[in-house]
Amino acid sequence: MTANTITAADTRINARWLIPVEPFGVVLEHQAVILQGSRIAAVLPQTDADQKYRTRETINLQQHVVLPGLINLHGHTAMSLFRGMADDLPLMTWLNEHIWPAEGKFVSGQFVLDGSKLAMAEMLRTGTTTFSDMYFFPEVTAQAAHDIGMRAQICFPLIDMPTVWGSGPDEYLAKGTDLIAQWRKDSYIMPAIGPHAPYTVSDQPLKAAVALSEKTGAAIQIHLHETAFEVEEALKVSGQRPVARMADLGVLGSNSQYVHMTQINEADVELLNQAGGHIVHCPESNLKLASGLCPVQKLIDSGMNVTIGTDGAASNNDLDLFGELKSAAMVAKVVAEDATALSAHKAIEMATMNGARALGREHELGSLIAGKLADLIAVDLSDPFLQPVYDPASHLVYSNHGRAVSHSWIHGVPQLQDGRLTRIDVPDLMIRVQDWQKHILS
């Protein structure tokens, strides 16, 4: 590009601060992000952008920090319709006596459509641009996310028992194979395999899941070592800790994601490192259900890729990933007994680049560099509760909440403009949500 060359592009975003994530730990000031189509064309100082680019629109965000869109790597989106329904209960009581019976009564394709849209509205409003879902009727959530324009890893459920979505493992695997075939080449939807947990899925379905993953490249996501009770029961039944059993069955691997991991010892960490894969930390759900504390800094120090998720709104009770980052950083310091554990920049990396790595899309997502997909957000730091600003990264993790997110783009398309959703009819959605509330209460 010569000194006199002016390049045309679609959108210029002027940011007071910018956290590109790559390189790590950097906060830049007075930067411009240039978008062309679905990609980032350039990230450069605003004075340089004045000389090099002419854009169709310019968005001035002079009190904002711009960063990559957040990646929420675990949730059950449709369960947003169960938010607050069965609180202050231990996990197995919560599941066996409340959630599973409610799912049997109320879950349907329409329930999943409305619940997933409610979750997507909340996630978009609070900075998430990519999410992972593990729930019934995954074909419905996949289509809804695609229509709205959100990126989503859609994990079809695999469990030994019959559910509203199928009669058992054979039917789940057959439907899941079709889901993978339909979406595997899509830029927005990433189909994956979701065996529920070691205590709900027997050996043969797990082996079939591994075979399907190896054949198609689809990731496996599984709840693993979520509670002490799970580990104790596994030892009684098989004499093996769940991680060891998963290793023997081939479930552990570079394309696998392990959710929760609150109960781990040195042998578990060694097996995980040998096999590879990714940890999905869900601190607020773990805290609320008293499931335990994931030793995040220990896992990071061992070389594991640690990502973050909210879990479902029925056990959290929100899908605000910024709140999750604060909880993750706080809990990590207490568990490690080290105030330097999980710094603000490391927490942001968990929700951006680390999530992209777990999805196998680190070359396209997770940081703001030229050539990557234009998935990014802006957070308004002008409110009194965010003033004064000494370190924007610290504010995002320790002072911010997701409602300060003002703008987001996915694939270069605006999804949130000045706090308003552009692709979801919120008033219509709220009518349907209220109808569900009345139906469930009755």
Give me the torsion for CA of 158, 160, 165, 166, rounded to 10°: 120
pLDDT per residue as tens digits for the range 235-258: 999 999 999 999 999 999 999 999
Residue pair 140/109 in contact by the 8 Å Cβ criterion: yes
Amino acid 442: pLDDT: 84
Q: Which among 361, 346, 324, 305 has a CA at the least distance from the CA of 127?
A: 324
Q: What element of type H or E holds 299?
A: helix 296-302
Between helices 138-148 and 109-125, what is the axis angle to 10°? 40
pLDDT per residue as tens digits for the range 314-324: 999 999 999 99
DSSP string, 341-388: SS-HHHHHHHTTHHHHHHTT-TTTSSS--TTSB--EEEEE--SGGG-S
Amino acid 92: pLDDT: 85
Task: Report the 10 Å Cβ neighbour count for 363.
Answer: 11
Q: Residue 192 and residue 351: Cα distance in Å, rounded?
A: 19
Amino acid 60: pLDDT: 98
pLDDT per residue as tens digits for the range 185-203: 999 999 999 999 999 999 9
Retrieve residue 290's tokens.
Answer: 């008293």
Whether the upstream peptide bond of residue 286 has omega within 30° of 0, thus cis, is no
pTM above 0.95, yes or no: yes
Residue 339, helix vs strand vs coil? coil
Residue numbers of the chain with a pLDDT score lower than 50: 1-2
CATH of 7-68+370-411, one of 3.40.190.10, 2.40.37.10, 3.30.1330.40, 2.30.40.10: 2.30.40.10
| Per-residue DSSP letter, 123 | H
* Pairing status of strand 256-260 against strand 220-224: parallel
Domain range annotation of the chain: 7-68+370-411, 70-358
Contacts of 167 (CB under 8 A, 6+ apart): none
DSSP string, 17-70: EE--SSSTT--EEEEEEEEETTEEEEEEEHHHHHHHEEEEEEEEEEEEEEEEPE
- Which CATH class name applies to 70-358? alpha beta
